[in-house]
């Protein structure tokens, strides 16, 4: 019938070759073949050659479902992240995946759209694949997910946030501290009247709290905040500024919860001939690749997204492979980047 249904001329199904076939061809037992493939150091050089030839001959492809079933090791890591079509998480995911594949693991991607419910559903579903480890974004997870995770009893690494009491391991940074530094930075530059264009995201909320804390120390408490739904877009940044200006209040600095929003706000300001930063300062977050290139270049906060990913992958695999982790909780910090918009 169709070209390619693993049938021979008589239309009899041909089974994919198994370890046993390789064993037969090489004149060895299946278990020796298995060892030659997975623990070559436990086997004579000559034997390895025999096995290699037989594998070549038969076109054998191991079946990790069978292997994982008995060995309890899947060499699979599940990574849950809100989305990847924005550079914020994409860089980290790319780094995780690169590092994992270097260490012989594969990555299953769970995109959770900033929803706790989706995170829980996705991760519980993925648990049935028996991953050897899990990467989570953020530190807040539904209680039932936490319970399942603990029962699953596999290494977990939380990222992109900070707490002294993670589920297991953590590599991230403190959003609240970033907020305070943003506030202090702008206060020190002399700005006094603030407004926010802010994504409705829990980690962003923490940064806002940090900013508020910083400002309140100078008795600045009257702050207009325009909340926008996630994911943040250029468009919502633009509209955010429109809204804030329509309030007819006076601002000298607008803080945005992401560079994307800042970029939108800047372009709206430019269109209205508002001079940046003399008449209005604008600050972003993330140091996305366009921030430096934007005109005017966006002042923002740099996070080492790639380093987070590499570290997360390494800690996870180290933990899986029984190595002792020197430090299970790592704060990678951040850097305020001053450019032209402040």
Q: Which residues, 177 to 236, sit near its own copies by CB under 8 A? A: 234
* Choice between 212 and 282, CB closer to its own copies: 282
DSSP state of 71: H
Work out whether 85 is an interface residue with its own copies (CB under 8 A). Answer: yes
Between CA 125 and CA 261 the distance in angstroms is: 34
Which one of DNA, its own copies, none is in contact with 18 (Cβ closer than 5 to 8 A by kind)? DNA
Instruction: Identify the H or E element spanning 227.
Output: strand 224-228
Between CA 77 and CA 116 the distance in angstroms is: 20
Neighbours of 31 (CB within 10 A): 10
Q: Give min distance, CB of 66 to its own copies, in A.
A: 5
| 119, two tokens | 């995170």
Q: CA torsion, points 193, 199, 205, 208, in degrees to nearest 10?
A: -20
Work out whether 67 is an interface residue with DNA (CB under 7 A). Answer: yes
Q: Which residues, 30 to 59, sit near its own copies by CB under 8 A? A: 59
Which one of its own copies, DNA, none is in contact with 150 (Cβ closer than 5 to 8 A by kind)? its own copies
Which one of its own copies, DNA, none is in contact with 37 (Cβ closer than 5 to 8 A by kind)? DNA
Work out whether 263 is an interface residue with DNA (CB under 7 A). Answer: no
| 263, two tokens | 């970029």
Asked if 291 contacts 264 with a C-beta cutoff of 8 angstroms, the reply is no
Q: Give min distance, CB of 35 to its own copies, in A.
A: 17
Among 295, 322, 324, 326, binds its own copies (CB under 8 A): 295
Work out whether 57 is an interface residue with DNA (CB under 7 A). Answer: no
Between CA 194 and CA 223 the distance in angstroms is: 6
Residues 6+ apart with CB under 8 A from 300: 259, 262, 283, 284, 285, 286, 287, 288, 291, 336, 337, 339
Residue with tokens 């590599």: 171
Give the x-and-dash track for 106-125 against DNA (CB under 7 A).
Answer: --------------------
Among 263, 299, 300, 341, binds its own copies (CB under 8 A): 263
Between CA 283 and CA 300 the distance in angstroms is: 6
Q: Which range of residues in 59-67, 197-205, 305-313, 317-325 is near DNA by CB under 7 A?
A: 59-67
Q: Which range of residues in 145-153, 186-194, 206-214, 250-258 is near its own copies by CB under 8 A?
A: 145-153
Q: Give min distance, CB of 231 to its own copies, in A.
A: 10
Which one of its own copies, DNA, none is in contact with 47 (Cβ closer than 5 to 8 A by kind)? DNA
| 324, two tokens | 């002792």
Asked if 298 contacts 284 with a C-beta cutoff of 8 angstroms, the reply is yes
Among 7, 29, 102, 289, binds DNA (CB under 7 A): 29
Q: Is 322 exposed, middle or buried (0-12, 13-18, 19+ CB in 10 A)?
A: exposed
Work out whether 37 is an interface residue with DNA (CB under 7 A). Answer: yes
Q: Are strands 335-337 and 300-302 parallel, antiparallel or unpaired?
A: antiparallel
Neighbours of 47 (CB within 10 A): 17
Residues that bind its own copies (CB under 8 A): 4-6, 16, 59, 61-66, 68-69, 74, 76, 83-87, 90-91, 93-94, 97-98, 101, 106-111, 122, 124-130, 148, 150-153, 234, 263-264, 267, 270, 289-290, 293, 295
Residues that bind DNA (CB under 7 A): 15-16, 18-20, 28-32, 34-35, 37-38, 42-44, 46-47, 60, 62-63, 66-67, 69-71, 73
């Amino acid at each position: 019938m169709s070209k390619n249904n693993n049938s021979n001329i008589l239309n009899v199904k041909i089974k994919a070759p198994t370890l046993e076939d390789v064993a037969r061809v090489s004149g060895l037992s299946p278990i020796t073949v298995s060892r030659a493939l997975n623990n070559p150091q436990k086997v004579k050089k000559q034997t390895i050659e025999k096995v290699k030839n037989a594998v070549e001959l038969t076109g054998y492809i191991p079946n990790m479902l069978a292997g994982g079933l008995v060995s309890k090791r899947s060499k699979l890591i599940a990574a849950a992240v809100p989305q990847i079509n924005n550079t914020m998480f994409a860089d980290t995911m790319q780094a995780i995946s690169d590092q994992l594949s270097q260490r012989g693991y594969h990555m299953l991607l769970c995109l959770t759209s900033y929803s706790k419910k989706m995170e829980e559903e996705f991760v519980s579903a993925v648990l049935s694949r028996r991953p050897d480890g899990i990467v989570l974004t953020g530190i807040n997870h539904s209680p039932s997910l936490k319970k399942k995770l603990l029962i699953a009893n596999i290494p977990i690494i939380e990222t992109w946030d900070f707490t002294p009491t993670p589920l297991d391991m953590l590599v991230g940074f403190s959003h609240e501290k970033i907020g305070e530094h943003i506030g202090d930075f702008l206060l020190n530059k002399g700005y006094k009247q603030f407004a926010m264009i802010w994504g409705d995201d829990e980690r962003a909320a923490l940064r806002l709290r940090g900013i508020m804390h910083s400002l309140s120390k100078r008795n600045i408490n009257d702050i207009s905040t325009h909340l926008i739904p996630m994911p943040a877009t250029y468009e919502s940044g633009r509209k955010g500024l429109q809204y804030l200006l329509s309030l007819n209040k006076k601002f000298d600095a607008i803080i945005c919860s992401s560079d994307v929003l800042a970029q939108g706000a800047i372009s709206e300001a430019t269109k209205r001939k508002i001079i940046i930063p003399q008449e209005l300062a604008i600050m972003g977050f993330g140091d996305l690749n366009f921030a430096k290139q934007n005109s005017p270049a966006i002042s923002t906060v740099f996070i080492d997204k790639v380093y987070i990913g590499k570290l997360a992958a390494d800690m996870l695999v180290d933990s899986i492979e029984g190595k002792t982790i020197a430090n299970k909780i790592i704060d990678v910090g951040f850097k305020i980047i001053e450019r032209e918009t402040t």
